Structure 1
Amino acid sequence: MEEKGMLPEQTQSQQVLVVEDTAIFLTIIKDILKGVCEVVPARNAREALDLLEAGTPVDLILMDVVLPDMNGYDLVKAIKSNEATKDISVIFITSLSGEQDEEYGLSIGAIDYITKPFSKSIVRARVKNHLELKRYRDVLKNMSMIDGLTELNNRRRFEEYVGREWNRCLRNQKPLAILLIDIDYFKKYNDYYGHLEGDEALKTVAKVIEDSLKRSGDFVARWGGEEFACVLAETDKEGAIVVAERLRQAVCDLQIDASAIEDAQYVTVSIGIAAKVPEKKDNWEALLKEADHKLYEAKDDGRNKVIY
């Protein structure tokens, strides 16, 4: 299942995209950064943009200003204008050593500017420093995207993840499914058993939902209150039904006592499903809204049900 609340990997596993059309220079950079990071090469601007648009994980970009198909300044502008890539730090490493060149490169979004000829040890040190800063930023970002009570992903993280998966499934024309899960009669449960017991029930249900998702890309978040949301990439409606029924049964099997509540013996959940192959005219918010409608149908139909 999609990891949450984890610290980023150590520096050795971080990836640096090096945009350089000269094979000899690329070999030199690889040698300099050996043991620091993994180098992802791109021979020109178009190849770099294709790698980024395909979702290649990149922690830092190292590029020349002079490229065969587009100058590096324009490439940086393209990267910074894309919501998915705008936060990736860029270092220019170039023979253009004029003060105006450097000032302009930094003004459009580069985080550093290294001129040739350069010291190998200085390049290595600067890249290491920027990668370490990226790691600390990732730690802080991860902390801001975790729900404090359940330790699941929070709503902000859900919106980021589902947007990325929607775009990926759109490119590959694969189905995407969203499940919305609501704990039945939870307000009554809180009113009778108290908020401390309610919190424990929330944490227990969250854990069993998380444990019931089997694939590495399956994702769950606390949507708000007693609601949870799951994203199942490359999953059609039939596959989503199987997962939803497994989640619903897993919660039933917990046998969390709710006998004091009218019409309930144990804590149960209702689940709404929506799934489709993304189209350019649509968006993930519409799919989420459809899942929400199905959830309300499940509630109206007696609860402890999966509706699709």
Structure 2
Amino acid sequence: MVEDEPISALIAAKALSDNFITHHVSSGQEALDFCDQKLPDIILMDINMPVMDGLTACRKLKDNDNTQEIPIIFVSSHNSPEAEDECWEAGCTDFITKPFSVTTLRHRVNSHLAAKLMSDKLKRLATVDGLTDVQNRHYFDGFLADQMKLCTRLKHHIGLILIDIDNFKLYNDTYGHIKGDECLRQVASTLRTVLKRPTDCLARYGGEEFAVVLPHTDARGVEHIANSMLSAIRALNLPHKLSSLSRVTISAGGICVSPQNLSQIALIQKADQNLYSAKDAGRDQFVVA
């Protein structure tokens, strides 16, 4: 709740306290600062406030990739058509006039949160691989493109690792597809534990292949991640009796570059070439260039 009148904030908090944890700030700037630290599920915003008014705060929140999907309901004593138009133009989700009905407030909040939860679920289904619960190929393609642009602008390096489960067709033929699916899930879960930074991305690239995007990472960092992933899969010690090592292993090909004047396709091709070099050299190893 973004409200400079304590009584109004108290009434709204009491109305919602049965179902929600509420937080209260007194200005638009405080709302921006709060969202930098913790993203709320919904925002109730007054219009007239000190330091920064609600309309300005709403525009800034809608211009920020991290906060633009948060529903914002203006709760204001302004009830003219012009005031409502300004709120819609700023990007609000709804508008409630003071003094408000507690029942109306509850229903409006519940309705908009239900819509947001459904939207979040659909977005997750569109970007997450259903079997392994890591990002899917569609998400990977967009994420890599965005990070290449960002690293180009900042003149930073970017790392890419392509990973293949060794002899996975033989694993499926030996243990069956149900066991094969479980192997994919275990490998994906284990690879994900190696990544510690929120900016790193693990995706299922296709079949038994995975891809790791490492923004702002030098060659030593890429080698460290690749080596850690190979060690983590070895430690799983999943039996694979037709493998020369008698257990499930992976091969990895990595690349670390400054992406200026390099296409996304070219970056992937270079990592793929290194992956094939690792497999040709005997598997259960990585090649990073």
Q: TM over 0.5: same fold?
A: yes
Q: What is the alpha-carbon distance in structure 1 between the residues aligned to residue 86 and residue 52 of structure 2?
A: 16
Alignment of 1:66-145 (within 5 A): 66-145=48-127
Q: What is the alpha-carbon distance in structure 2 between the residues aligned to residue 56 and residue 165 of structure 1?
A: 24
Q: What is the alpha-carbon distance in structure 2 between the residues aligned to residue 152 and residue 220 of structure 1?
A: 6
SS at match of 1:182: strand
Cα deviation for residue 112 of structure 1 reads 1.0
* 1:224 to 1:299, Cα distance in 2 relative to 1, 3 A: same
Q: What is the alpha-carbon distance in structure 2 between the residues aligned to residue 46 and residue 159 of structure 1?
A: 35
* 1:217 to 1:25, Cα distance in 2 relative to 1, 3 A: farther
* 1:246 to 1:289, Cα distance in 2 relative to 1, 3 A: farther
Match of 2:180 among 181, 184, 201: 201
- Give unpaired runs (5+ residues) of structure 1: 1-17, 167-175
Confirm whether residue 56 of structure 1 aligns to residue 56 of structure 2: no
Confirm whether residue 34 of structure 1 aligns to residue 11 of structure 2: no
Which residue is 1:19 aligned to? Answer: 2
Cα deviation for residue 234 of structure 1 reads 11
Cα deviation for residue 26 of structure 1 reads 2.4
Cα deviation for residue 182 of structure 1 reads 1.7
SS at match of 2:24: strand
Aligned letter for 2:189? E
- Mean CA deviation greater in 118-127 or 234-243: 234-243
- Give unpaired runs (5+ residues) of structure 2: 149-157
Which residue is 1:299 aligned to? Answer: 276
SS at match of 2:184: helix
Q: What is the alpha-carbon distance in structure 2 between the residues aligned to residue 299 and residue 134 of structure 1?
A: 44
| Deviation sequence 1:248-300 (CA, Å, 0-9, x none) | 3146x3233445xxx88665311246799xxxx989x9999879845643531
TM-score by length of 1: 0.67
Overall identity of the aligned pairs, in %: 29
SS at match of 1:28: helix
TM-score by length of 2: 0.71
- Mean CA deviation greater in 204-213 or 121-130: 204-213
Cα deviation for residue 34 of structure 1 reads 0.4
Partners of 1:272 and 1:292 within 8 A in 2 = no
Aligned residue pairs, count: 270
Confirm whether residue 243 of structure 1 aligns to residue 228 of structure 2: yes
Confirm whether residue 269 of structure 1 aligns to residue 254 of structure 2: no
Q: What is the alpha-carbon distance in structure 2 between the residues aligned to residue 25 and residue 165 of structure 1?
A: 43
Cα deviation for residue 45 of structure 1 reads 1.7
Cα deviation for residue 91 of structure 1 reads 0.3
| Deviation sequence 1:32-85 (CA, Å, 0-9, x none) | 210222223332222222333x35222111101112123322222222222222
Higher RCO, 1 or 2 (CA under 8 Å, sep at least 6)?
1
Q: What is the alpha-carbon distance in structure 1 between the residues aligned to residue 141 and residue 21 of structure 2?
A: 29
Confirm whether residue 256 of structure 1 aligns to residue 240 of structure 2: yes
Which residue is 1:147 aligned to? Answer: 129
Which residue is 1:169 aligned to? Answer: none
Which residue is 2:151 aligned to? Answer: none
Q: What is the alpha-carbon distance in structure 2 between the residues aligned to residue 246 and residue 205 of structure 1?
A: 17
Q: What is the alpha-carbon distance in structure 1 between the residues aligned to residue 29 and residue 204 of structure 2?
A: 39
Q: What is the alpha-carbon distance in structure 2 between the residues aligned to residue 289 and residue 69 of structure 1?
A: 49
Aligned letter for 1:36? N
